[in-house]
Amino acid sequence: MTPIMQIRDLSVGYASRRAVGLAVTSVNLDVEKGEILGVVGESGCGKTTLAVALLGLIESPGVIQSGSVQLRLADDKLVDLVGLAPRPLRQIRWKEIAYIPQGSMSALNPVLRVRQQMTDTLVQHGLSKAEAIERARWALNLVSLDAAVLDKYPHELSGGMNQRVAIATAVTMQPAILVADEPTTALDVVTQRSILQELVKIRDQFGTTIIVISHDMGVMAQVVDRMAVMYAGRIAELGLVLNIFDAPLHPYTQKLIGSIPKDTGQHLEGLEGEAPSLWAYPPGCRFHPRCSLATAICREQTPELREIISGQYAACHHCD
Ligand SMILES: Nc1ncnc2c1ncn2[C@@H]1O[C@H](COP(=O)(O)OP(=O)(O)O)[C@@H](O)[C@H]1O
Ligand code: SF4
Ligand SMILES: [Mg+2]
């Protein structure tokens, strides 16, 4: 299959006065058309930074240190979102790739009615006001919301409804790729499940490629086809979610899966030790201070992400 997105050697950092600390380091990833790809890892591991880089939206103090994000457009042309000028980027955003930002409650403008939030972008893309409202109604219906929501302000809606509005807004132009950053965080378990089902529905109906970002392994288990496990800015493991849950290869993934409480299947808690700051990564494998299998080579050499068994990749010196 031809990937719809190819991420190569992508490193993204934040600049202080003296240095750049890398929040995303040498990420290589192919995103297949029509898949739901999960990106999972503890808070601070670089998920949002990666998402923003995939949209070509990194701004100061963020810096792209290296790499490319090649997006295959509808006409099969490839475009590198890294360093793309604002104008061509605006043409690609929403139509080809759309973003549901983390914390949609706060991402929605509190002083604007849903109608305006949803139609402004469409009007900027050349639709008439009437067409834009028609599209907004269509998108709300798609995520199981009544068109009456158009007349509401965000504070008049529940967290789950706001999240649905954010999803509806992102799909109004029927993008080929949708990047959803923590779409279910802060919602109750029942609402989480129905929101995730909306994403699956969108993929099934339109063949939309969806990248779901979450700190919650439970979310991965519920919706994604493949997942990338991130640790301290790097991909630690990559493969089909079924295979990884069945037999995680990387010690970090094993800990994450082992920490899921059996009763609810939700949340990721209770990992001992702390993830390193992007200003003080340990040498070699960044996970070595927390890894019970660490040996001398782990403290000295960075393990490359490699295929250990068919279709399942891990970055670890000792996992085969
Ligand atoms: N604007 C910023 N300036 C400096 N550091 C940042 C900024 N945004 C994020 N970071 C740092 O980058 C790292 C990754 O953050 P983020 O991508 O938000 O992780 P995640 O989404 O996985 O929680 C964290 O250490 C965070 O503190
Ligand atoms: S490379 Fe070494 S320290 Fe890193 S996860 Fe593998 S065994 Fe643990
Ligand atoms: Mg985040």
pTM of the complete model:
0.95
What is the model's pLDDT at position 266? 52
47: Cβ below 6 Å to ligand 2? no
How far apart, in Å, are the Cα atoms of 312 and each of 122, 250, 319? 40, 10, 11
What is the model's pLDDT at position 83? 86
C-alpha to C-alpha distance for 109 and 197, rounded to whole angstroms:
25
Rg (C-alpha) for the chain, rounded Å, is 20
What is the model's pLDDT at position 263? 61
Asked if 21 contacts 54 with a C-beta cutoff of 8 angstroms, the reply is no
Is pLDDT above 70 for 220? yes
Which ligand gives the minimal distance to the CA of 298?
A: 2
What is the model's pLDDT at position 273? 82
Is pLDDT above 90 for 103? no
| Domains of the chain, CATH where assigned | 3-96+175-314 (3.40.50.300), 105-174 (no CATH)
C-alpha to C-alpha distance for 248 and 243, rounded to whole angstroms:
7
Q: Write out pLDDT tens, residues 249-280.
A: 999 999 999 887 766 555 545 577 888 999 99
Tell which atom from ligand 2 comes closest to the C-alpha of 303: 1
Which ligand gives the minimal distance to the CA of 24?
A: 1
231: Cβ below 6 Å to ligand 2? no
Closest CA to 279 of 18, 36, 95: 18
Q: Write out pLDDT tens, residues 33-85.
A: 999 999 999 999 999 999 999 999 999 999 999 999 999 998 999 999 998 99
Task: State mean pLDDT over 149-174.
Answer: 93
Asked if 228 contacts 315 with a C-beta cutoff of 8 angstroms, the reply is no
Closest CA to 84 of 96, 102, 101: 96
Ligand 2 pocket check: which of 256, 285, 292 to mutate, most ligand atoms within 8 Å of Cβ?
A: 285
C-alpha to C-alpha distance for 236 and 238, rounded to whole angstroms:
7
- Cα of 50 from ligand 3 centre, angstroms: 9
Q: Write out pLDDT tens, residues 117-159.
A: 999 989 988 999 999 999 999 999 999 999 999 999 999 999 9
User: Measured at the alpha carbon of residue 135, what is the angle toward residues 133 and 141, in degrees to the nearest 5?
Assistant: 105
Which ligand gives the minimal distance to the CA of 49?
A: 1
Task: State percent of the chain over pLDDT 70.
Answer: 97
> Which residue do the tokens 């439970």 mark?
218
Closest CA to 104 of 224, 186, 43, 31: 186
C-alpha to C-alpha distance for 154 and 159, rounded to whole angstroms:
9
- How confident is the prediction for the chain on average, in pLDDT? 93
- Cα of 291 from ligand 2 centre, angstroms: 6
Q: Which residues have C-beta under 5 Å from ligand 3, the single-atom ion?
A: 47-48, 102
Task: State mean pLDDT over 7-31.
Answer: 97
Encoding tokens for residue 292?
A: 């019970």
Residue identifier of the C-alpha nearest atom 3 of ligand 2: 288
Tell which atom from ligand 1 comes closest to the C-alpha of 52: 17
What is the model's pLDDT at position 1? 72
- Cα of 102 from ligand 3 centre, angstroms: 6
Residues with CB under 6 A from ligand 1: 14, 23, 41, 43-49, 61, 278
What is the model's pLDDT at position 107? 76
